[in-house]
Amino acid sequence: QSVLTQPPSVSAAPGQKVTISCSGSRSNVGINYVSWFQQLPGTAPKLLIHDNTARPSGIPDRFSASKSGTSATLDISGLQTGDEADYHCGAWDTNLDSYVFGTGTTVTVL
Amino acid sequence: QVHLQESGPGLVKPSETLSLTCFVSGVSISDYFWSWIRQPPGKGLEYIGYIHPRGNSLYSPSLKSRVTIAADTSRSQLSLTLRSVTDTDTAVYYCARHEEVPFIRRGFDYWGQGSLATVSS
């Protein structure tokens, strides 16, 4: 059902950086705004990034995002054990006239 | 502060109707849009649809024929009705708030804790 493609998992040591990609198409990532959500184990998703690059109040600047063409990227720098979670991207799809999510990426801190 | 709390029956039989409620506190539901999103066990998020209590609503094409989302401003509640369920409808169902449509550029800023609905005979 997921329209946006993410890598199933990424991992790195504490203090390192991970990058999560979100690949879509023109009708979603290409022309609409991307959000990113963090889902800690056993909890509800939490808004991490909106408007492609903006962080809500309280989200540390270790989390940053960008978008180019039909792909978006979430970077997590200075990785901490508390960052172990699933990360989901999302965007409106103009063709489907509905919101779509990515396949989700599990971040593991080695 | 804003708080969303989903509730539901937990277990639903195949072909029957799933009904879920989301109680909202800390804000007037009339001032925002409200979406339902589900997550099958071990899988990603799936969008279901949204409502604005003043009358605007939209459903995902894949679920449109079976879903109804409603709002009760007097009770500060949203509801989700999913008809003719099958085991593929087993999921944690979340309600979430957003500020605008249709592009939802600012994302879903408040989420409930989720309600697990299992479809099984």
Distance from CA of B110 to the nearest CA of A (A): 7
Distance from CA of A44 to the nearest CA of B (A): 5
| Rounded-to-integer distance, Cα B48 and Cα B39, Å | 10
Other Cβ atoms less than 10 A from the Cβ of B30: the count is 11
pLDDT band at B54 (very low <50, low <70, confident <90, very high): confident
Distance from CA of B107 to the nearest CA of A (A): 6
Q: Measured between CB atoms, does B35 come within 8 Å of chain A?
A: yes
A92: nearest Cα among B106, B45, B102, B36: B102
pLDDT of residue B103: 87
Q: Do A33 and B103 touch (CB under 8 A)?
A: yes
Q: Quick: pLDDT tens for A42-69.
A: 999 999 999 999 999 999 999 999 999 9
| Rounded-to-integer distance, Cα B36 and Cα B25, Å | 17
Taking CB atoms and an 8 Å cutoff, what residues of chain B touch A88? 44-45
Q: Quick: pLDDT tens for B84-113.
A: 999 999 999 999 999 988 889 999 999 999
What is the number of CB-based contacts under 8 A between chain A and chain B?
A: 76
DSSP state of B2: -
Report whether pLDDT(A1) > 80: no
Q: Which of B44, B109, B114 is facing A88, going by the closest CB pair? A: B44
Residue B26 neighbours by CB under 8 Å, 6+ apart: B1, B2, B3
Taking CB atoms and an 8 Å cutoff, what residues of chain B touch A104? 43-45
